[in-house]
């Protein structure tokens, strides 16, 4: 390397390290005033006071020159305040004065990071750069309003993506659990592919899935059978059925749609799922606040008949399969798949290196049980893990509770992620034993196969990590509150609240990519609000209850719809991963179907039922409309 180039390189490295040290030094210059990562205009901000360590700590807080009385909680002293303009904060303690100038960020800017990321992803069909740009816009806005220059804000914002948001996203117990579970499933799937187990399943299923219709229908039925968890559903069904659908020339986009449209919808409405705990806890908060004399579980059961989007989605899929028709981008994807051979379909979804790693040796005899045993261990192991981690002697000893209620509460209290990790690890161990015991591969080759399986997950894990980082950023920027403010500002009659809730939930889930996050945000807002609005409109309890149940279901239904349409949704990403489908193509082909069912659910289901139309009539009309739309608009593939 030339000496001049070496000196230049050293200079660049020194400057880079100096900038990093400046950033870190500034970060360590802590004062007694602790603010959240982003202070938004007209949003309640918690200002915390850091204890200086002195024995006598009686600080005085001045905001805009006015003294404020500090409150205390388990985390120390704090004060809540809404900043409307640039304001100076002073903290006076003995002979020390700490000052900070707060320039609140306009709340409308909070929608830019997810909105730009989503638009870029849909236009460019490239999700990594789209998520990164969305994150960069958000972090740059935060630093720009902290009082530094634009280019420095962009520079610091780029580093904050890694050292703040990505690190915090990966430090989450739930997120790490999902990564480990996904890697273990990927390793198991690779191993049961190499030992001939997957080929054995394909040979058996091919007897029943001997055409495109039966292949799609079996995929749909498998999605319904693994109802207890959407992650397990997606990864098991997608990986298991992919070789079958490839052989039948079903596009990866269609497979991803079938998987995605049976995972979250069935997990959202089934009586015993990993969702039930979160749902019941949010519902319980709502009924406690309004003083309703009902259990959360009974409210959940009463609300199920209003879950139009999940139920209609589960009805729409078999209608597509039965009529053998598609429309929109999905039709194009299916037509292209018909012109390819199975090897070319595989090539579209996987890189040549991964394809080479998954090739089954010619001397390997296909045996279906090499795949079925590990998969069944994952399925039943997850159920056993849920029961084990959620077991409560008091619940099972209560004779007043039905078996279904006991089982639902047990799974609701379970540690979902531990159950998934345990079962997937057991599945990997079973696949390893079956492979080595039969002499198909030795231990070294089997471990190499597992490691190659882990590699296949890297693409999806990177997307998930960036999506989680963006979700954390939107939380800091109060994106949900911006959307909430727009929708709740509308003065509307009680009968329109469920429909508004559905749209509201879909918008937040689309922007944040999280069904569970959407439920956590909206349930505490909507349930007390609809009760109060109904009372103010002169309605009695019997008149409000149907609207209340409808709103409960609409939060969940809207969250699932937004999740289906969002390219930054973790379940949508996992569906693409499990089916080895291009992620953006999955979103583009699925979105028209999801929006069609969502529109029918809203117009024919949610709105009429709120005005007193019986739900059975709404379902009959909705199913008829969807069937007719497929028949008239769809084209045979």
CB 91 within 8 A of CB 61: yes
In 3D space, the residue among 223, 257, 243 whose CA is nearest the CA of residue 333 turns out to be: 257
* Residue 342 structure tokens: 């199975």
Buried b / exposed e over 528-541, threshold 16 CB at 10 Å, is: bbbbebbeeeebee
Neighbours of 30 (CB within 10 A): 9
pLDDT winner (highest mean) among 20-24, 222-226, 449-453, 618-622: 618-622
Say if residue 547 is in the same domain as residue 602: yes
| Nearest alpha-carbon partner for 479 in 63, 210, 79, 117 | 117
Do 79 and 139 belong together in one domain?
Answer: no
Check: CB of residue 265 under 8 Å from CB of residue 227: no
397-431 pLDDT, tens digit per residue, is: 888 877 877 877 787 677 877 888 898 899 999 99
| pLDDT tens, position by position, 442-481 | 889 889 888 888 887 777 678 778 878 887 888 888 887 7
Q: Encoding tokens for residue 316?
A: 């729409």
The structure tokens 């070294």 sit at 444
**What's the rounded Cα separation, in Å, for the pair 309 and 606?**
9
97 DSSP β-pair partners = 92
Give one DSSP letter per residue of 355-401, joined into a string: HHHTPPPTTPPP-THHHHHHHHHHHHHHHHHHHHHH--HHHHT-TTS
Give yes or no: residues 612 and 523 share one domain.
yes
Of 117, 142, 170, the residue at which a domain comes to its end is 170
Residue 97: CATH number of its domain = 2.60.40.10
Q: Is 491 helix (H, G, I), strand (E, B) or coil?
A: coil
Residue 627: inside a domain, yes or no? yes
- Write out pLDDT tens, residues 162-214: 888 888 888 888 778 878 877 887 788 788 878 888 777 767 776 777 888 98
Burial zone of 413 (CB within 10 Å; 0-12 exposed, 13-18 middle, 19+ buried): middle
Work out how many domains the chain is built from and give that number. Answer: 3
Q: Could you tell me if residue 192 is inside a domain?
A: no
Does a structural domain hold residue 283? Answer: no
612 domain-assigned: yes
Cα 333 to Cα 330: distance, rounded to the nearest angstrom: 5
Does residue 363 belong to any structural domain of this protein? no
> DSSP letters of 588-607?
HHHHHHHHHHHHHIIIIIIH
Q: Would you say residue 312 has pLDDT above 90?
A: yes
Range of the domain at 52: 31-104
Say how far apart CA 369 and CA 376 lie, in whole Å. 10
Q: Is residue 254 part of a domain?
A: no
My answer on whether 469 and 600 are in the same domain is: yes
Please count the other Cβ atoms lying within 10 Å of the Cβ belonging to residue 167: 13
């Amino acid at each position: 390397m030339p000496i001049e180039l070496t000196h230049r390189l050293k200079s660049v490295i020194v400057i880079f390290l100096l900038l990093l040290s400046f950033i870190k030094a500034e970060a360590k210059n802590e004062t007694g005033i602790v603010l959240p990562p982003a202070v938004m205009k007209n949003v309640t901000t918690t200002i915390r006071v850091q204890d200086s360590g002195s024995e006598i700590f009686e600080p005085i807080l001045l905001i805009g020159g006015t003294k404020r009385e500090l409150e205390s909680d388990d985390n120390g002293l704090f004060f809540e305040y809404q900043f409307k303009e640039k304001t100076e904060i002073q903290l006076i303690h003995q002979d020390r004065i700490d000052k900070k100038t707060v320039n609140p960020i306009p709340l409308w800017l909070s929608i830019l990071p997810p909105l730009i990321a989503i638009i870029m992803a849909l236009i460019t069909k490239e999700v990594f750069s789209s998520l990164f740009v969305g994150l960069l816009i958000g972090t740059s806005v935060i630093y720009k309003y902290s009082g530094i220059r634009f280019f420095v804000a962009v520079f610091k914002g780029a580093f904050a993506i890694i050292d703040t948001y990505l690190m915090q996203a990966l430090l989450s117990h739930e997120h790490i659990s999902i990564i480990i579970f996904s890697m273990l499933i990927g390793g198991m799937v690779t191993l049961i592919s190499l030992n001939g187990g997957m080929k054995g399943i394909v040979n058996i299923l091919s007897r029943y899935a001997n055409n495109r219709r039966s292949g799609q229908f079996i995929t749909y039925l498998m999605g319904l059978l693994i109802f207890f968890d959407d992650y397990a559903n997606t990864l098991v069904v997608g990986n298991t059925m992919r070789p079958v659908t490839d052989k039948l020339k079903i596009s990866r986009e269609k497979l991803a749609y079938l998987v995605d449209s049976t995972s979250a919808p069935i997990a959202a409405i089934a009586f015993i799922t990993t969702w039930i705990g979160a749902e019941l806890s949010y519902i319980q908060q709502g009924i406690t606040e309004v003083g309703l004399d009902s259990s959360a579980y009974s409210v959940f059961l009463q609300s199920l008949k209003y879950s139009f989007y999940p139920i209609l989605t589960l009805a729409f899929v078999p209608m597509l399969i039965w009529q053998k028709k598609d429309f929109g981008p999905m039709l194009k994807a299916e037509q292209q798949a018909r012109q390819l051979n199975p090897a070319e379909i595989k090539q579209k979804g996987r890189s040549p290196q991964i394809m080479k790693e998954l090739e089954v040796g010619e001397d390997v005899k296909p045996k279906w049980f090499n795949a079925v045993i590990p998969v069944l261990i994952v399925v039943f192991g997850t159920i056993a893990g849920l029961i084990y981690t959620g077991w409560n002697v008091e619940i099972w000893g209560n004779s007043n509770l039905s078996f279904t209620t006991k089982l639902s509460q047990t799974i609701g209290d379970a540690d979902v992620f531990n159950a998934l990790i345990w079962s997937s690890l057991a599945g990997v161990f079973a696949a390893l034993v079956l492979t080595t015991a039969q002499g198909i591969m030795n231990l070294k080759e089997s471990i190499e196969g597992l490691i190659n399986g882990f590699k296949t997950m890297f693409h999806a894990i990177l997307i998930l990590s960036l999506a989680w980082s963006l979700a954390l950023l939107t939380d800091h920027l109060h994106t949900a509150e911006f959307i909430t403010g727009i929708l709740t500002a509308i003065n509307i009659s009680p009968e329109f609240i469920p429909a508004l809730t559905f749209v509201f939930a879909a918008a937040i889930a689309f922007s944040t990519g999280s069904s569970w996050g959407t439920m956590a945000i909206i349930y505490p807002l909507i349930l007390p609000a609809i009760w109060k609005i109904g009372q103010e409109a002169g309605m009695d309890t019997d008149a409000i209850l149907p609207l209340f149940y409808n709103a409960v279901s609409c939060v969940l239904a809207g969250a699932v719809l937004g999740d289906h349409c969002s390219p930054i949704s973790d379940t949508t990403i996992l569906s693409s991963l499990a089916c080895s489908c291009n992620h953006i193509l999955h979103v583009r082909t699925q979105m028209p179907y999801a929006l069609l069912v969502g529109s029918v659910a809203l117009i024919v289901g949610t709105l009429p039922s709120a005005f007193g139309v019986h739900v059975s009539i709404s379902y009959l009309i909705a199913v008829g409309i969807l069937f007719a739309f497929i028949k008239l608009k769809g084209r045979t593939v």
